[in-house]
């Protein structure tokens, strides 16, 4: 119990030093899952409820996962690079990302997923240290520290580009999650 209190206090210090937001959003899902999904940072709904991916984007992500046959309660651990909502929901700064990376790396070590899905450019840059457009790198498996990693479009981008026609971001993302499901079933 003491360790959890200490960790929360440390998170609060990181959050308060960056943006004076006190609500910490650590994770949701199964801490023993083979699949970890890493996003950017909490939004307003996530901050309110204290869990990542529970707003509109999260509901779409859950639906995409479920449509691929992935159980969002058993098969997935959801977290973000940054644990506190940036002011005005802006993209996290490089400093905020650097302050939060030790916590994210610790989550990865503790959960020990076989497969990691990087949702959006911030997660891609934070983990793989690659500055690339998601449209170029998405859907490809990348080996990172003995784990398989796949970047995918962020669901907020899919909400802004909802067409389901073949060759659209939504159709690519559905295909990506099918590949992810096949991989976690195989491993």
pLDDT tens-digit map of 88-118 = 889 999 999 999 999 999 999 999 999 999 9
164: domain CATH number? Answer: 3.40.470.10
Q: What phi and psi values does residue 90 have, to the nearest 5 degrees?
A: -75, 170
Residue 163, classified by CB atoms within 10 Å of its CB into exposed (0-12), middle (13-18) or buried (19+), is exposed
DSSP β-bridge partners for residue 116? 36, 149
Instruction: Select, from the ranges 2-11, 18-27, 115-124, the one with the highest average predicted confidence (pLDDT).
Output: 115-124
If you search the block for the tokens 């911030």, which residue do you land on? 122
DSSP state of 6: H
Total number of domains in the chain:
1
- Average pLDDT of span 28-43: 97
Helix axes 121-128, 94-111, angle to 10 degrees: 70
pTM of the model: 0.89
Range of the domain at 51: 2-186
Q: What is the mean pLDDT of residues 12-36?
A: 77
């Amino acid at each position: 119990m003491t360790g959890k209190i200490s960790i929360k206090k440390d998170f609060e210090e990181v959050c308060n030093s960056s943006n004076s937001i006190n609500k910490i959003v650590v994770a949701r899902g199964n801490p023993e899952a083979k699949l970890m999904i890493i996003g950017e940072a909490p939004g307003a709904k996530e901050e309110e409820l204290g869990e990542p991916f529970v707003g509109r984007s999260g509901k779409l992500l859950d639906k995409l996962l479920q449509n691929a046959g992935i159980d969002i309660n058993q098969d997935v651990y959801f977290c973000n690079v940054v644990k506190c909502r940036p002011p005005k929901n802006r993209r996290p700064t490089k400093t905020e990302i650097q302050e939060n990376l030790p916590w994210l790396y610790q989550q990865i070590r503790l959960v020990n997923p076989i497969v990691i899905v990087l949702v959006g450019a911030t997660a891609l840059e934070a983990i793989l240290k690659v500055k690339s457009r998601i449209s170029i790198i998405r859907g490809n498996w990348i080996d990172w520290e003995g784990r398989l990693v796949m970047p995918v479009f962020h669901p907020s981008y899919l909400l802004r580009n909802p067409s389901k026609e073949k060759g659209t971001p939504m159709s690519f993302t559905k295909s990506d999650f099918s590949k992810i499901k096949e991989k976690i079933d195989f491993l």
